[in-house]
Amino acid sequence: MVTAPAGATEPGLPHPLPGAVGLSHLSAYDWEAADGVCGGSPHLHLVCTEAYVVTGGRGAVQTLSPDGYREIPLEPGSLAWFTPGTVHRMIQGGDLRITVLMQNSGLPEAGDAVFTFPPEVLADPARYATAAQLPPGTGPETADAARRRRDLAVEGYLVLRESLAAGDNRPYLEFQRAAARLVREKVPTWRELWRAGALATAERTGTQLDELASGEPSYLGEATAHEAAPTRLGGFGMCGRRDEYNLPGTTLPYGGE
């Protein structure tokens, strides 16, 4: 839980992390998939760039984008990031541990991620929601459901990857369009989260620059420090076991990354 400074009367904090980013820690899944590779559930984000900062172990991230298929090696100190619309799949190579930085904190938590399920699942919002949902908790039932979800996403992903490798990007482009159709009704909510988070943070900087230029930086009188600890350890995310933080600007966990 995020803690307020000593003497504060409000339970929450007025400011998000720098740039209004989200943060979590991941240990990549070591479950073997149909293609013999161990790792997470392939998916994309619709409007958020994501970054991996590798803190331990080794592995890779496989990506699909209009420029084709890539596999980026991951080792301690590596940094990789993906722009919206890039399908990514985390690969476990041995005790892979990652800190995830996510643009637009609040949007990913509100559903800005779509699994690479087969087309017939993507075409039915109710069926997609059922396939994507996990039972609460961190026990065996949740682990089994997370593994089934991963396997279904890999099933669709392998078709997209094989088509791209053969020079046919039509299935990949149709997946992007299907993903956009699935989340379209969420856009008004996302817009409000963006205004309250990332946009408000950028506009606050503009106000601070104005005050500095005027010689009266009154906002410096509000300087303080904050701290936070994980609110859930070892949750089942898209890519692996996930330590989550309840930070200003976020909503309920989305089971992501």
CATH number, position 150: 2.60.120.10
* Rounded mean pLDDT, 218-235: 87
Predicted pLDDT at 7: 33
Q: Are 60 and 120 in contact (CB under 8 A)?
A: no
At which residue do the structure tokens 């958020």 appear?
Answer: 48
The tally of domains found in the chain comes to: 1
CB proximity list for 216: less than 8 A, separation 6 or greater:
none
Q: Hey, CA dihedral for 136, 142, 147, 152, is it positive or negative? A: negative
Separation CA 72–CA 19 (nearest Å): 26
Mean pLDDT of the chain: 89
Query: Is 213 a member of any domain?
Result: no
Q: Which pLDDT does position 256 carry in this prediction? A: 57
Q: Is residue 214 part of a domain?
A: no
Residue 1 domain flag: no
Mean pLDDT of the 169-178 span = 96
Share of the chain above pLDDT 90, in %: 75
Q: How far is CA 88 from the centre of its chain?
A: 11
Label residue 117 exposed, middle or buried (CB < 10 Å: 0-12, 13-18, 19+). buried
Over 50: is that where the pLDDT of 1 sits?
Answer: no
**Is 8 a domain residue?**
no
Burial of 246 (0-12, 13-18, 19+ CB in 10 A): middle
User: 225 phi and psi, to 5 degrees?
Assistant: -130, 155
Range of the domain at 174: 18-208+224-244
Give percent of the chain with pLDDT exceeding 70: 90
Q: Which pLDDT belongs to residue 32?
A: 97
Q: How much is the pLDDT for 14?
A: 58
Domain-embedded: residue 4:
no
pLDDT digits 0-9 by tens, 20-67: 899 999 999 999 999 999 999 999 999 999 999 999 999 999 999 988
Q: Is residue 7 part of a domain?
A: no
